[in-house]
C-alpha cells in the first residue's frame, strides 16, 4: 500500500509540474510581449504623427503626383517668362522708335496730347491767331504808335499770358517737367496725335509686361525652391513610411502572438502523459510477486551500480572542466545580458554545401532549415532591436574569443533574419585573412573590403546582392593585401563604416576571433556595439572572462552574449565537423604555420 501511494503521488507531482512549467513558460512569453507593447505603440503613434505633420507642412497628398506637378509648373513658368521677355523687348524697341520720331519724352507726349484735346486751350489759341491776324493787317495801315495797334498788342500779350498759364496748368496735371513746357508743340496734326497715342499705349504695355515678368521670376524661384527641397522631403517621407510599416508589422505580430499564448494558456490539457498507471506485480490470484534474490541479479546490480558511480564521477569531472556546459553557467560567470541562444542545426551543413542554389531554390532551402534555429535567430534580432539604446542599433560587430565558436554562422543567420523582417541589411566580411561568407552565400570574391581600403575603390560598386535573399547584400573580404591587418584601424575604415551605416538599416561585421587579433576592437569603436558569441561546451571560461575584462577596460561597447550549440547532442560527432570558422581549421593552421596564407577557400 505504501509503495502504491508513493507511486501515485509521484505520478501526480509529475503531471502537476508539467502543467505549471508550461504555464510559467507561456506566462513569461506573455509578460515579455506586454513589456514591449507600450514602447512599440508609442513609436507607431510618433511615426504616424511625424508623417501627418510632414504632409501638412509640405501639403503632400500623393508623393508621385506632387513631384510631377511641380516639374510641370516649373516648365510652364519658364515658358511664360521667356514669352513675356520676348514681348517686352519688342515693345521696348517700338517705344524707342516712336520716341525718336516724335522727339518728345513720355510726359511731354502726354502733355502735348492734353493741350491738343483741351477746349479752353484751343479757344485761347484760336483767339490769339485772330488777334495776330488783325495786328498784321493794322500794322500795314498804321504805325506802332497808333492806338489801335497798341490795343491789339495789349490783347495779344494778355492772350499769350492766359495761353501760357493754361499750358503750365495742363503740364502740371500731366506730371511733365514745367521747364520743358515751352518746347511743347502748340498744335498736333492727326499723324502726330496717332503716334503720341501709340507711344502712350506702348509705354503702358511695357509697364504691364515688366510687372508680369517680375511675377513670373518670383513664381519660378518659388517652384524651383520647392523642387530643390522635394528630394529631401521625399526621402524623409519614405523613411518614415518604411519605419512605420516595419513597426506596425512588428506590433501586429506581437499582438497575434500574445493572443495565441493566452489561448494556449487557457487550455487545460496536461502536456505530459503517464504511459502506464502505478502498479505492483501480482500473480493470477492477485498475490504479490516478490523479486527473486539470485546471485546473478546481485552481480548485475553491482555492475549497474558501478556504472552509475563511474558516470557520476565523469559528470563531476566535466563540471570542473574549463568550459561552459549550460546557459546558466554562462550568465552566472559573465553577468552580461544573454541576447540569444542558438541550437545546433544539422540542416545548415546540407544548405552550405550548395550555396549557389543550383539544385534547389529559395523555397527548397527554406524547407531544409530547422524552424527552431530560425526562430532563435529571429528572437535574437528582436532582442537586439528592442535594446534600450538611442539611437537604435544600426551597426554591430560579431566576434568570439577563439575559433570554433560559430560567430560566422551567427552573423549570417542574424543578417538573414533581419532581412526577412524588411530591413535593408549589409553583411561585411571583415575577416580579410580567412574570408568565408562569400563561399557560404555563393558569390564571387574578386574584389571587396581590402580593395576598398588599399585602392580607394567605391564600395557601392563592390557590394553584391545575395541570391535568393531579399534585402540582403554582401561586401566580401576581397583579396588579402599588404595592409589587410591595419585596415580596421585606418581612417578610411572609419569613413567607410559611417558611409555604410547611412545607406543601410543594419550593417553586420564578421571579424576574426579576438585572441591574437585586434580587428574587432577597432571596428567596435566605430560601430554601435560588439556581440560576443560563446560556444556551449567549447569556449573556455578563463579565456572569455579574461577577454571581457580587457574589453571593459578599453571601454568598448559590449551589447551582450549569444550562446551557440546550446541544443547540441551529447554524441556530437557530425556536429563537431560543422562549426563556424572550421570547414577546415584555417585559423589554427595559421597559428602553427605562419606561411599558410589563403584569401578564400577552395
Q: Please tell me the distance from the alpha carbon of residue 263 to that of residue 22, in angstroms, as a whole number.
A: 13
**Could you tell me if 508 and 425 are in contact, meaning their C-beta atoms sit under 8 angstroms apart?**
yes
The DSSP secondary structure of 40-98, one letter per residue, reads HHHHHHHHHHHHHHHHHHHT-S-HHHHHHHHHHHHHHHHHHHHHHHHHHHHHHHHHHHH
Q: What is the pLDDT of residues 72-101, one digit of tens each?
A: 888 888 888 888 889 888 888 888 887 777
Q: 52-56, 391-395, 543-547: which range is least confident on average?
A: 52-56
> pLDDT: is 391 or 20 the higher one?
391
Three cell numbers, residue 387: 535594446
Assess whether pLDDT exceeds 70 at residue 263.
yes
| Percent of the chain whose pLDDT exceeds 90 | 9
Q: Please tell me the distance from the alpha carbon of residue 564 to that of residue 578, in angstroms, as a whole number.
A: 13
Q: Please tell me the distance from the alpha carbon of residue 168 to that of residue 2, in angstroms, as a whole number.
A: 140
Assess whether pLDDT exceeds 80 at residue 453.
yes
Q: What crossing angle do the helices spanning 407-420 and 371-385 adopt, rounded to 10°?
A: 80
The pLDDT of 480-501, averaged and rounded, is: 76
At residue 115, the pLDDT reads: 57
The DSSP secondary structure of 308-366, one letter per residue, reads HHHHHHHHHHHHTSSS--SHHHHHHHH---EEEEE---HHHHHHHTSTT-SSS-HHHHH
320 pLDDT tier (thresholds 50, 70, 90): low
Query: Could you give the strand order of the β-sheet that contains 464-465, starting from the edge strand earlier in sequence?
Result: 338-342, 558-564, 530-535, 395-400, 506-510, 425-429, 472-475, 464-465
Q: What is the pLDDT of residues 89-132, one digit of tens each?
A: 888 888 888 777 777 666 666 666 665 666 666 677 677 778 87
**Could you tell me if 591 and 513 are in contact, meaning their C-beta atoms sit under 8 angstroms apart?**
no
The DSSP secondary structure of 268-286, one letter per residue, reads ---SS--SS-----B-TTS
At residue 581, the pLDDT reads: 41
552 pLDDT tier (thresholds 50, 70, 90): confident
In what helix (H) or strand (E) does residue 379 lie, and over which residues does it extend? helix 371-385
At residue 500, the pLDDT reads: 92
Question: 169 exposed, middle or buried (CB, 10 Å; 0-12, 13-18, 19+)?
Answer: middle
Q: 45-49, 291-295, 474-478: which range is least confident on average?
A: 291-295
Write down the number of H helices and E strands in the chain: 20, 8
Assess whether pLDDT exceeds 80 at residue 544.
yes
221 pLDDT tier (thresholds 50, 70, 90): confident
Assess whether pLDDT exceeds 50 at residue 319.
yes
**Could you tell me if 432 and 449 are in contact, meaning their C-beta atoms sit under 8 angstroms apart?**
yes
**Could you tell me if 513 and 401 are in contact, meaning their C-beta atoms sit under 8 angstroms apart?**
yes
> pLDDT: is 213 or 171 the higher one?
213
31 pLDDT tier (thresholds 50, 70, 90): confident
**Could you tell me if 410 and 398 are in contact, meaning their C-beta atoms sit under 8 angstroms apart?**
yes
Assess whether pLDDT exceeds 60 at residue 379.
yes
DSSP H stretches of helix in 421-484: 437-441, 449-455, 459-462
At residue 56, the pLDDT reads: 78
Q: What crossing angle do the helices spanning 106-117 and 190-266 adopt, rounded to 10°?
A: 120
Average pLDDT value over all residues in the chain: 77
Question: 429 exposed, middle or buried (CB, 10 Å; 0-12, 13-18, 19+)?
Answer: buried
530 strand-pairing partners? 397, 558
584 pLDDT tier (thresholds 50, 70, 90): very low
Q: What is the pLDDT of residues 134-159, one digit of tens each?
A: 878 777 777 778 887 788 888 878 87
The pLDDT of 313-334, averaged and rounded, is: 74
Assess whether pLDDT exceeds 70 at residue 299.
yes
DSSP SS3 for 561: strand
Between CA 390 and CA 394, with CA 392 as vertex, the angle to 5 degrees is 135
**Could you tell me if 568 and 344 are in contact, meaning their C-beta atoms sit under 8 angstroms apart?**
yes
Q: Please tell me the distance from the alpha carbon of residue 262 to that of residue 264, in angstroms, as a whole number.
A: 5
CB-based contacts of 185, cutoff 8 Å, min separation 6: 112, 192
Top-confidence range, 311-320, 350-359, 382-391: 382-391
Assess whether pLDDT exceeds 50 at residue 355.
no
> pLDDT: is 174 or 400 the higher one?
400
> pLDDT: is 283 or 3 the higher one?
3
Torsion sign (Cα): 176, 181, 185, 187 = positive
* Phi, psi (rounded to 5 degrees) for 14: -60, -50
Q: What crossing angle do the helices spanning 541-553 and 327-334 adopt, rounded to 10°?
A: 40
Amino acid at each position: 500500500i505504501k509503495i502504491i501511494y508513493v507511486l501515485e503521488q509521484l505520478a501526480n507531482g509529475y503531471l502537476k509540474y508539467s502543467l505549471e512549467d508550461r504555464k510559467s513558460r507561456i506566462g513569461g512569453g506573455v509578460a515579455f510581449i506586454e513589456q514591449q507593447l507600450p514602447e512599440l505603440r508609442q513609436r507607431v503613434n510618433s511615426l504616424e504623427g511625424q508623417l501627418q505633420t510632414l504632409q501638412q507642412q509640405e501639403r503632400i497628398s500623393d508623393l508621385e503626383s506632387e513631384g510631377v506637378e511641380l516639374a510641370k509648373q516649373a516648365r510652364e513658368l519658364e515658358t511664360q517668362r521667356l514669352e513675356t521677355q520676348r514681348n517686352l523687348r519688342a515693345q521696348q524697341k517700338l517705344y524707342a522708335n516712336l520716341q525718336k520720331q516724335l522727339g518728345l519724352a513720355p510726359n511731354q507726349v502726354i502733355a502735348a496730347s492734353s493741350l491738343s484735346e483741351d477746349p479752353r486751350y484751343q479757344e485761347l489759341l484760336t483767339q490769339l491767331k485772330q488777334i495776330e491776324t488783325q495786328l498784321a493787317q493794322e500794322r500795314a495801315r498804321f504805325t506802332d504808335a497808333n492806338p489801335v495797334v497798341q490795343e491789339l498788342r495789349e490783347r495779344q500779350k494778355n492772350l499769350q499770358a492766359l495761353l501760357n498759364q493754361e499750358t503750365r496748368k495742363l503740364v502740371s496735371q500731366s506730371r511733365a517737367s514745367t521747364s520743358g513746357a515751352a518746347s511743347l508743340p502748340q498744335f498736333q496734326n492727326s499723324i502726330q496725335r496717332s503716334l503720341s497715342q501709340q507711344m502712350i499705349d506702348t509705354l503702358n504695355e511695357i509697364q504691364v509686361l515688366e510687372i508680369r515678368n517680375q511675377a513670373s521670376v518670383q513664381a519660378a524661384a518659388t517652384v524651383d525652391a520647392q523642387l530643390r527641397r522635394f528630394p529631401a522631403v521625399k526621402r524623409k517621407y519614405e523613411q518614415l513610411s518604411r519605419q512605420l510599416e516595419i513597426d506596425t508589422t512588428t506590433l501586429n505580430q506581437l499582438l497575434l502572438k500574445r493572443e495565441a499564448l493566452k489561448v494556449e494558456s487557457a487550455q487545460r490539457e496536461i502536456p505530459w502523459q503517464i504511459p502506464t498507471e502505478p502498479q505492483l506485480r501480482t500473480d493470477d490470484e492477485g498475490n504479490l510477486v516478490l523479486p527473486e534474490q539470485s546471485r546473478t541479479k546481485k552481480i548485475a546490480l553491482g555492475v549497474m551500480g558501478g556504472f552509475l558511480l563511474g558516470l557520476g564521477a565523469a559528470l563531476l569531472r566535466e563540471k570542473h572542466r574549463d568550459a561552459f556546459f549550460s546557459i546558466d553557467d554562462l550568465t552566472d560567470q559573465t553577468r552580461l545580458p544573454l541576447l540569444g541562444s542558438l541550437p545546433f542545426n544539422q540542416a545548415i551543413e546540407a544548405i552550405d554545401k550548395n550555396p549557389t542554389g543550383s539544385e534547389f531554390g529559395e523555397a527548397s532551402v527554406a524547407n531544409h532549415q530547422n524552424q527552431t534555429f530560425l526562430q532563435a535567430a529571429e528572437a535574437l534580432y528582436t532582442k537586439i532591436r528592442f535594446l534600450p539604446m538611442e539611437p537604435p542599433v544600426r551597426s554591430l560587430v560579431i566576434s568570439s574569443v577563439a575559433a570554433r565558436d560559430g560567430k560566422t554562422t551567427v552573423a549570417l543567420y542574424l543578417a538573414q533574419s533581419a532581412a526577412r523582417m524588411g530591413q535593408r541589411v549589409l553583411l561585411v566580411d571583415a575577416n580579410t585573412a580567412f574570408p568565408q561568407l562569400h563561399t557560404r552565400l555563393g558569390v564571387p570574391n574578386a574584389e571587396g573590403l581590402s580593395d576598398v581600403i588599399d585602392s580607394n575603390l567605391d564600395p557601392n560598386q563592390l557590394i553584391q546582392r545575395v541570391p535568393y535573399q531579399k534585402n540582403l547584400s554582401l561586401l566580401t573580404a576581397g583579396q588579402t593585401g599588404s595592409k589587410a591587418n591595419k585596415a580596421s584601424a585606418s581612417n578610411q575604415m572609419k569613413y567607410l563604416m559611417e558611409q555604410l551605416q547611412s545607406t543601410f538599416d543594419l550593417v553586420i561585421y564578421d571579424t576574426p576571433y579576438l585572441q591574437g587579433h585586434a580587428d574587432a576592437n577597432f571596428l567596435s569603436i566605430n560601430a554601435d556595439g560588439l556581440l560576443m558569441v560563446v560556444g556551449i561546451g567549447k569556449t573556455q571560461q578563463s579565456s572569455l572572462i579574461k577577454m571581457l575584462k580587457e574589453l571593459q577596460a578599453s571601454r568598448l561597447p559590449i551589447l551582450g552574449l549569444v550562446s551557440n550549440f546550446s541544443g547540441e547532442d551529447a554524441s556530437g560527432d557530425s556536429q563537431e565537423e560543422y562549426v563556424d570558422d572550421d570547414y577546415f581549421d584555417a585559423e589554427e593552421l595559421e597559428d602553427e604555420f605562419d606561411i599558410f596564407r589563403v584569401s578564400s577557400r577552395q
